Structure formats: structure tokens, C-alpha cells
A and B are shown apart, each in its own frame.
Chain A
């Protein structure tokens, strides 16, 4: 039964026979396609792969992956994923969550799974809205978002998911866009290669309740001017011809947008991306202003020991210290006395 299939699996082999139930045109379809392609490229073993999610449109994801899958309860996927890794650290665990699932009801769990650095991939589908419950504003909705629960526009300030992840101590933080079928698999592969909690924010268009919120930087025409793809060791440039870039203003310790060739700026003035630099990462994810690009790509990657490996080591240590530990010895531990 267990012999390996001689054929290399294709993206299709990672799809289940279940009818996909997202709205036509939902960005989730594109993400599903990218993930299936990524697994095929990685030659991932379906038997060893687990998709875990919370609740939301995005969290339906596991039903469509021909791997092991657990659609759990709202916001708690990080805890389930942690338990799965503690039970069997060899499993390859992918967690799928939404902006509501991961940052509202599950904000606490997301914080802790990142802080502990459990070795899983976390895909946060950010559509800046509660899709499944029919379009209420979410913690990532921009102030003024009109929704059924905020007819006069939302009043709350919004949360930046990557900034949240960095502050929680994440060692891998990346961003990509649902429709970018070339970029996303690259990013997902990097996330997969990183040992520890890999956090990937995916800008996902909810065509029904929040259509076009990201259009200003994801539309084909706008993208070159408004998206910056960070790559380790490369200059942080953008624009149709790579003529714009990020420069560090050392007086303010802030990033400014400059154009090469203007005001004496040369390519050498542009910052080189160092994905191990936490301060730079924070500046990149919080870039703000009318002419500031949205930074995508692997923004931070700086691995440290994982929680599950640490737990496994303690267990191994205890076992090698007491190789003959058995139940009888445990029952008779401490002082005993005999009644004849």
C-alpha cells in the first residue's frame, strides 16, 4: 500500500473532489491554485502534510487540499497547529487564517504561535473584511470603511498584520498578492524552507464585500509604481524601470522615497535589502504616504531554534537520562512501606 507513486505529483493531485464554494471571482481561488502548485513543486508528501484553519471563507481552505486537514474553530488554529506539531514534529503543517480569524478573535493565539516559533507556515488571507459573516469591517479595515456594522464608516484604527507579526517576535515575515501567480509560489517556498513560524500576509480580494481595496497597488497598471519587491541583497527599488528607491534618512532614522538621477541621487544611495535586519523590516512593513510603495516579498527572515524542536529535545533528554523509566518504577517512586 505504501510504495511511492512513480509519477511526480502535479498541482491537480493536491486538489480534492470537493466542489469549491467560494464566490466566483474570489481571490481565494488564486491562492488555492498557487498553494497546490507550490506543493507540487516541493514534491510535498500529501500524507505528511496537514492544513489547519480557523473559521471564515479563507478557513475553508483545507477542504480543497488532498492532504490531511483540520477546519477547527474561529481564531484557534494556531493552538491546534501547535498541538499537532507537539504530537508529531515531523508533520509539515500549514495554517490558513483570515484577518478576522487571525487578528481579531485569534489575535492572542497568533501572537503566541509566532512568539514560540512553532515550525509551521501561516498564511493570513487579508481581505480587510469579514467575508463569511457578510461583510462587516475587520481589524485590518481602513478607518472609514463602510460596512453593515459601520454604516457611517468604521472609526477604529487598523492593524498592520506584518507589523503585528514582527512585534510578536516572528522570524519570518513575507507579503504577496493573490493574483500574482509567479511571486506567491516563490514566497511560499521560502516560507516552507524556513524552520520556525513563517508568517505570510496575502492580499486577497473579496469581490463581494470589499472589491478593489488593494487595486491601487495590485492592478497591473498601478503595480510597478506602487509595489516594491524586496529581495535579499538587492537594492530596494521600484517603478516601471526600477528608477525609484528607498533611501535611509539618517537624521530621522526614516525611509524616504527617492528617484535615481534626481537631486544627485545615484543607485548607490538606495538601501540594500537585508532580510535579517529587524529594524529595516519594521520600516518596510510600515512604509506610509502617498508616494510610498507597498513592500512585498520576504521582508524578514532570521531563523532561531523552534519551539517544537526544543520540546522534543527535552523529552529526548529525559528519556536518555532514564532509559528504563517504566510505569512500575513510577508507581513505587518516593517512600513506600509494606503491610504484611
Chain B
């Protein structure tokens, strides 16, 4: 029978989880309505607070509430945590928690052979099996035989644990994820207090729901403690990672990006005016910044992405730091306005949280396929600097850099992040704000001899005078301007000169960014793996492992995508081969080939998933021949 009510869990394979672990990858998978993302983030938070290093991969569908029990409605959250430095969310989970048949159907393949499968048997019945596309019950037909299976009727035990609170059946079932979380916290010796505190806050308006959810967490935890699980899933621990001393917090890419923008604005001495229109996975940044008004942040939810960027440019004209943010489809809409910001030479930060494309594409899946769009995607010769973040924590520094470059060079800057970085969490050493170097903006206020087109001879940035200041009244616009006066000019020579100036200004930024470093390995060798953006973790691990095998491989991970670091071409010359893994069809490889005439080998994957370390290892070996 499909429903197995046995209180006592039974194991179908005698594979044991070792008691002290270096690292563990857990994947929580359930229906979108099961609250798997909350389970995952709370497990993450608890884990981080214990000083364990970690990386996460929230993997959820585009539909908010896909029909219950369907495979396309499955939402998953993967966490890799360890007593060593963790750089990826893990190739294959050691533990899969499957809350329903659809979650099992879609995730079982990813589970490591011999891995542990925790399954809610209470959710298995003829109807849910059929919905998930099973013709026979996988719990009984041998499908799960290769794994260490822990069968638990989580549904029933949850209902029991919250019985006394008088919830409706539906409400009570919603506590399933908390029961499961309690069990997993016990299994890996994680503390519960942070979860309890969080639940109290989340359900501050309903004592009943707060109590019920806390009871479910405690019940799951107690179940682990008291049930005779010793043979099946022992209480194991993952120690603290050896990390640099300091104060830490967990952070997602969207959070650190928001903090970085605010920090950047303070270093520049400006208020932020953030114009944005909701789109997955970029909206999180809007939500983050909307709560930071006390830091001089104004957020404007515009009527569309065009209005969003235009409002930001207007704000920059008036002396704020204009920032706008979107994802691929919205960035496409902003193209014309970016040209105006380039032509009027106003500072602006444009954040692109990339997702799978083209068109609507895959809203919730990650990709880095907007690099061409960022570097080349505007009408006219319209250069602008492009920088990319590579880890959730890195978004902070990259955001500050974007603000610095935008204000110093009077230019729009595109900051590339992606859906994976935006949502993934990692422990983050909280930076010392006082140690960051301010780059305070000086508005031009002197009326005598003022022209909006006067440039700093070194940076080529034009001066920035803002409305409100007497004597510097001026008009700007998108029509070509005279190099000297800033007035409209259709003169042929002048257009050549202005185009060259805009071009040289952006290329000149290469003198003001750090030289590219070898991220890992020697400065010369047989192969260099060149990456950018969120592929950092998997590439790092793969190169590390390949090097441990004795291969002469190095890693270069690029932050400054345009202009490129001055020494990048020379660095590439130090290697026999250049391999460029990207979550697109080879866009950065094109840029490298174009700029350095280098025979960059492409490795491309656009399946919405991060690269697997094992896959990269294999390709590295093959490329070396």
C-alpha cells in the first residue's frame, strides 16, 4: 500500500551516515506550497550561526502556486555545509528530503548513490502518485533500493504535534516543513533557537500559528532524539569551518548588493534614487532597498522598466545617485535610455540580475547570457563599463565599485549578477565600513566660465552641476553636443571627436581598476580556466581538484568585464590552452577572442543549473588531452 503508517522508521539499505562529517549536501524538495524555501533558509541560518561554512542553491519554479502535487510545482533548496571552505552548493546531495511523490520524481536522480532519502510516506497515495507521473509506487517497486531510505509519515506526525492548537487541517499541514526542519536540525546537531526566534517574529500577529509552528519544530527534533533511529540516521555533526576570525552573518546576493549600493552612495556622499519595476529575480533588490529609507534611499516603483531607468537618470541629473535594476527582458527595454545616459554623461548604476532567456525564458533559473547585451547592446557607439559579481558576498564590493566608477567617470555602469547569486546565501565576514575609502562627489558650483561639457583632463569625465545652483543653469539632451560649449552640434568633425571621447573615457577606466590576478594556481601552465560571475565556486573547486591530481591548471576569474583589465591578454599568453566555462553559448569567449586573438575553448551550459564540479573536472582533463 502507498500509505505506510509505521511510526518506526525502517531502512531499506544499510548505509550509514558517518558521525563526524567534513561536509554534507542536503536537498529539501517539496511542493511549492510546502514551504521548502523557508525550511532551507532557516536550516542555513541555524547552520551559519554555528560557524559552519556553507553555500546554497534555491531552485524554485516560476509559478507562485503551481497545481499541488505536480512535478513542475516542485520547489527545492540545496545547502552544502562543511567544516572546510564551501564554495558550491554541491554537485550531488548526500541527503534528499522528499515531501511528496513529485519531489521524489524530479529529484531522486540527483541523489548520490547510497545517499540518504528522507521521505514523507503520508503524502504518497494513488492520487498523488498519479499526479507525479508514477505508474507504480516507487517506495515499493525497487526504485529507491539504491538509497538509504528513511520512511516517515511526516504528515501524520505533524498533525499530531499541532493538534492542541486547534488549527484547520490545511493550516496544520502547513507546519509539515517545520516538523521536517526540526528533524534535520537534530540530525546535524544544529541549534533551534534562531528558528524559534524567527517564527515568533513571522507570526507576531498570531500566537496560535507561532506556537503551532514552534511545536512542530520541537516535535520533529524530539522525534529524532527519541525514535530508534540510531541505526538509520545517526545524530551527526559538522564542525566549524576554519575561517578567518571576525564577525559573520549570512547574506544573499540581493542583500549584499543592497548594502553595497547604500555603502557606495555614502562613500560618494549622495542619496540613492532607485527606480525599478518588479521582475524575477531582480525584485528582491527593490524590496531590500525599499526598507532603507532612513539611509537616504528613495525607491520608486515605476510603471515599467523604461520609466524606471528614466526616473533614475532624472534623479542623477538633479544630484542623486540614480540606480535602476531589472532582469533580461527589462534590461532590453532600458536600452534607449542607457544611450541617453551615455550621451548626457550622467552617473547611473544599472543592475541586471540575469535569468534564462531569450524573451521570458526561464524566470527563476540562472544564466549569464546577457553579457553581449551589456557590452554591446545599444544603438550607436555606446560604450559603458560592465562589472560582474561572483559570489553573494562579492556583490557588496562590486556594487561599491559600480558607484565609484559611475560617479568618477560620469557614466552609466552595468552591474551583472544573476538569479543564483541573488538568492543563494553564504556566511559573510561583515566588512569594516570605516576602512573603505570615500570617493565624495564634488558638484560643480562655480558659475564663472561654466560649461556642462568641461572635462577632467585625466578621467575625461565632464563636470556635474545640479539644478538649484545659481549660475550653472544649462541644458542637456541626447542630440550630439559641441565638445566645447555643450550646445547642440551636428558638425561632422565634432561628432567624430565626441564619439572618440566617449570611447576613450570608458577605455581609460582600465587604468583605474586593479590588474587581473591569477585567482588560483601558477602564472603559467598548460591550461587556464577563465570564468566570470557566479561560476566562481564550481570552477574554483574543479581547478583545485585538478591541481591536486597534478595537472598544470590555473584559474582566472574576471570581475571587470568592460573595459577588461589591462594585463588580461598577457596573462592568457602564459598558458597553452584557455577554457571558458559559461552559462551561455560562449559570450565571454567571444569577447576574449575578439580582444586578444586567443583560441578560447568554450564550455557552455544553459540548463538552469550551476556547473557541476565533476563535469568541469572531466572537461579540464579532456581539454588537456
Contact = CB atoms under 8 A, between A and B. Distances in A.
A339 B294 CA distance: 30
Interface string B63-85: 00000000000000000000000
Given A46-B473, A69-B476, A87 B303 contact: no
A281 to B, nearest CB: 24
Nearest to A334: B249
Interface stretch (A174-182, A215-223, A231-239, A317-325): A317-325
Given A83-B314, A338-B246, A78 B294 contact: no
Most buried by B among A65, A71, A331: A331
A83 B295 contact: no
A79 B306 contact: yes
Given A68-B474, A76-B306, A335-B45, A81 B314 contact: yes
A1 interface: yes
A339 B307 contact: no
B341 to A, nearest CB: 10
Interface size class of B (residues with CB under 8 A): 35 or more
Interface stretch (A47-55, A133-141, A242-250): A47-55
B318 interface: yes
A331 B315 contact: no
Interface stretch (B211-219, B258-266, B531-539): B258-266
A121 interface: no
A80 B295 contact: no
Nearest to A325: B294
Contact of B318 (A18, A67, A87): A87
A108 B303 contact: yes
B478 A71 contact: yes
Interface string B271-299: 10101000000000000000011111010
A79 B308 CA distance: 7
Contacts of B49: 335, 337
A327 B469 contact: no
A112 B476 contact: no
B302 A79 contact: yes
A315 interface: yes
B311 A63 contact: no
Contacts of B45: 335
Contacts of A318: 293-294
A311 interface: yes
Given A73-B337, A322-B294, A338-B246, A83 B259 contact: no
Contact of B273 (A49, A71, A83): A83
A86 B467 contact: no
A73 B475 contact: no
Contacts of A330: 259, 262, 292, 295
A82 B311 contact: yes
B386 interface: no
A87 B294 contact: no
B462 to A, nearest CB: 15
Contact of A336 (B50, B248, B273, B471): B248
B446 interface: yes
Contacts of B307: 76, 78-79, 82, 108-109, 112
B300 interface: yes
B469 A83 contact: no
Interface string A78-96: 1111111011101100000
Nearest to A75: B306
B431 A331 contact: yes
B48 interface: yes
Contacts of A68: 467, 473-475
Most buried by A among B247, B317, B320, B475: B475
A263 interface: no
A248 B542 CA distance: 82
A90 B488 CA distance: 28
Contacts of A71: 475-479
B312 interface: yes
A62 interface: yes
B336 interface: yes
Given A86-B315, A87-B315, A112-B303, A328 B433 contact: yes
Contacts of B313: 72, 80, 83
A335 B468 contact: no
Given A83-B275, A86-B273, A319 B294 contact: yes
Given A71-B478, A79-B302, A338 B247 contact: yes
B548 interface: no
B310 A47 contact: no
A47 B317 contact: no
Nearest to B193: A335
B187 interface: no
Contact of B487 (A18, A45, A338): A18
Contacts of A65: 475
Contacts of A69: 473-477
Interface in B323-345: 336-337, 340, 344
Contact of B295 (A18, A78, A325): A325
Given A72-B310, A337-B249, 9 more contacts: A1-B446, A69-B475, A70-B314, A73-B340, A83-B318, A87-B315, A112-B303, A331-B263, A337-B48
Interface of B: 45, 48-51, 194, 240, 243-250, 259, 262-263, 266, 271, 273, 275, 292-296, 298, 300, 302-304, 306-308, 310-320, 322, 336-337, 340, 344, 430-431, 433-434, 445-448, 466-479, 487-488
16 contacts: A1-B445, A2-B470, A51-B475, A63-B488, A68-B467, A79-B314, A80-B310, A80-B317, A82-B300, A83-B318, A88-B319, A317-B293, A319-B294, A325-B294, A337-B48, A337-B248
What 10 pairs across the A-B complex have the smallest Cβ distances?
A83-B314, A71-B477, A83-B311, A79-B310, A80-B314, A69-B475, A318-B293, A87-B318, A79-B307, A87-B320
